[in-house]
Amino acid sequence: MLLVSRAKRLVQLNLVFQFAIALLIPPLTKTMHWTIAAPFVNQGNIAQATWLDRHVPGCRHQFTLIPRRQPLDSWHERKSKFTSLGEWVN
C-alpha cells in the first residue's frame, strides 16, 4: 500500500513539474521579437550597424533596430559617459 501511494505521489509531482516547465519554457516554434534602440545606430549606418543580433544563431529571435535620426559625435571622444535625454530624442 505504501508503494502505491508513493507511486501516485511521484506521478502527481511529475505532472505538476511537466506543467510548470511548459509554462516557463516557450515552445521551440515561438519567435521572440526584440526591439533595440542603441545610440550608435543611426539612419545613415543602420545597414552596416553591428550589434548582438548579428551573433545570435537560429531563427527563434527576431530583432528590429530603431535608428537615431542623426549620428552622435564620436562615441569614444565624448565628455560624458552618459547619453542625455536630448540625445535619445534626436
Give the model's pLDDT for residue 1. 52
Question: What residue type is assigned to position 29 of the chain?
Answer: T
Residue 78 · residue 50 · CB < 8 Å: no
Sign (positive/negative) of CA torsion 5, 7, 13, 15?
negative
The H or E element spanning position 64 is strand 61-68
Residue 23 placed within a domain: no
Overall domain count for the chain: 1
Q: What is the mean pLDDT of residues 69-85?
A: 77
Q: What is the mean pLDDT of residues 11-31?
A: 67
Domain residues for 46?
A: 28-89
SS3 content of the chain, % helix, strand, coil (to 5): 40, 20, 40
Residue 32 placed within a domain: yes
Residue 81 placed within a domain: yes
Residue 10 placed within a domain: no
Residue 4 placed within a domain: no
Give the model's pLDDT for residue 2. 54
Residue 2 placed within a domain: no
